[in-house]
Amino acid sequence: MAGVCLLALSFYVLFTNEGRALRTASSLDEGLKQVVSLHPDAMLDPQNDGRLVHLSGPLRTAQPLYDPNYGVTVQAVKLQRRVEMYQWVEYSESRDYEENGEKKTETTYTYNTEWKSEVISSRHFDQEVGHMNPSAMAVESVTVVAPDVWVGELFLSKGLVEQINVFHTLSLQGLPVPVMNTFLTVYDDYFYHTANPRRPEVGDVRIRFAYAGLSGDGVYPGPAHKVSVVAMQQSNQLKPFRTRSGDVLEILYTGDLSAEEVFAREHQLNNMKTWALRLGGWALMFLGVSLSTRIIYTLVDWVPVLRELVSAGLKIFALCVSCSLSLLTISVGWIFYRPLLGGMLGLLALLPLLLAHARAPSKKNQ
């Protein structure tokens, strides 16, 4: 049953992946033909409303982001507070052995103290006594996002702001420690809720701050980050642009890139995703064929020599069948968009069957 389900899933992944890849490529080609490049310092042109535009420039926000508990301020699009707690962690190692003709498993548990960003429940530990963790953290992790972000004269949409996700650790050198907490210590770019950060105890908490998308002109922690955006201009906002192919273009990259470079990166990303899904679909099909033919292996499991031969033969069979079926499924997906190429892939997938059928009459005559 599992083999049949994996086969069905592999057919779905391979078939839909080809349509998605071709639709995305067509949308990117369509967008590149229509895009209009804007200068970041230019005034808004009402004639560009509803058109796909390209814009490169530094990020801007109205005011700095601030964490009142730790006195951290940074002019950025996002400010992230990452909290970790010193906890017990359980590790298990299993060993199989035979005793009196029976197969048994021996499991050994070891415990270590580590900094973890999630609460580890010690209730399910094999040895909970002496290895108990707190049930919650005293401080929570949180990410603050600037309400308004713009480049040049255009405000970024929510989808574009979500793509600003490359975080950098905020250096705490020279920052004052809040005086309201006497057990707060700054060490190695962390706020430690302990008097001795080099010798933490279970339950101690440390906090590290990170930012994404600097948007100020100040010296600390650096100049504003430049981004390149491709989206639809609507009044003074950048919003998603829907192509005739059915895809939505709402692209943001860090750095000063031309429109051609942005679309080239998107094509490269589409190709990587396409081949990753093709490989994943083939792997699912290989597992599905292997599990479906597993019953043949169980029939000869009691004969050692025959078992090894059948196992090797089934693996070769699963490899050949999965490759042919994967190519055939991909060719069917291409037929709807490029019939000639799809037909050639289909013939390539059926080539082993055609060769076997051609050799059959010659053997019969012999």
pLDDT tens-digit profile of 13-68?
888 888 888 899 999 999 999 999 999 888 888 899 999 999 999 999 999 999 98
- Dist. CA 256–CA 54, nearest whole Å: 11
pLDDT for the residue numbered 16? 86
Q: Is the model's pLDDT at 309 over the cut of 80?
A: no
pLDDT for the residue numbered 353? 53
- Dist. CA 189–CA 201, nearest whole Å: 19
Average pLDDT, stretch 245-274?
94
Q: What is the pTM of this model?
A: 0.79
pLDDT for the residue numbered 15? 84
Q: Report angle CA 215, 234, 77 to the nearest 5 degrees.
A: 15
pLDDT for the residue numbered 105? 87
Calculate the average pLDDT of the chain: 84
The kind and range of the H/E element at 266 are helix 259-292
Report which listed range, 281-295, 298-312, 345-359, is most confident. 281-295
pLDDT for the residue numbered 266? 96
Say if residues 72 and 208 touch (Cβ distance below 8 Å). no
pLDDT for the residue numbered 331? 74
Say if residues 61 and 215 touch (Cβ distance below 8 Å). yes
Confidence of residue 335 (pLDDT cuts 50, 70, 90): low
The phi and psi torsions of 78 (rounded to 5 degrees) equal -135, 140
Confidence of residue 365 (pLDDT cuts 50, 70, 90): low
Confidence of residue 337 (pLDDT cuts 50, 70, 90): low
Q: Is the model's pLDDT at 196 over the cut of 80?
A: yes
pLDDT for the residue numbered 321? 73
Average pLDDT, stretch 165-194?
79
Average pLDDT, stretch 174-195?
75
pLDDT tens-digit profile of 125-172?
999 899 999 999 989 999 999 999 999 999 999 999 999 999 999 988
SS3 139: coil
- Dist. CA 241–CA 239, nearest whole Å: 6
Q: Lowest-confidence range among 1-5, 58-62, 202-206, 241-245?
A: 1-5
Characterize 155-189 residue by residue with b for buried, 16 or more Cβ atoms within 10 angstroms of its Cβ, and e for exposed.
bbbeebbebbeebbebebeebeeeeeeeebbbeee
What is the separation, in whole angstroms, between the first and last Cα of the chain? 42
- Dist. CA 90–CA 133, nearest whole Å: 11
pLDDT tens-digit profile of 67-110?
988 889 999 999 999 999 999 999 999 988 877 778 888 899 99
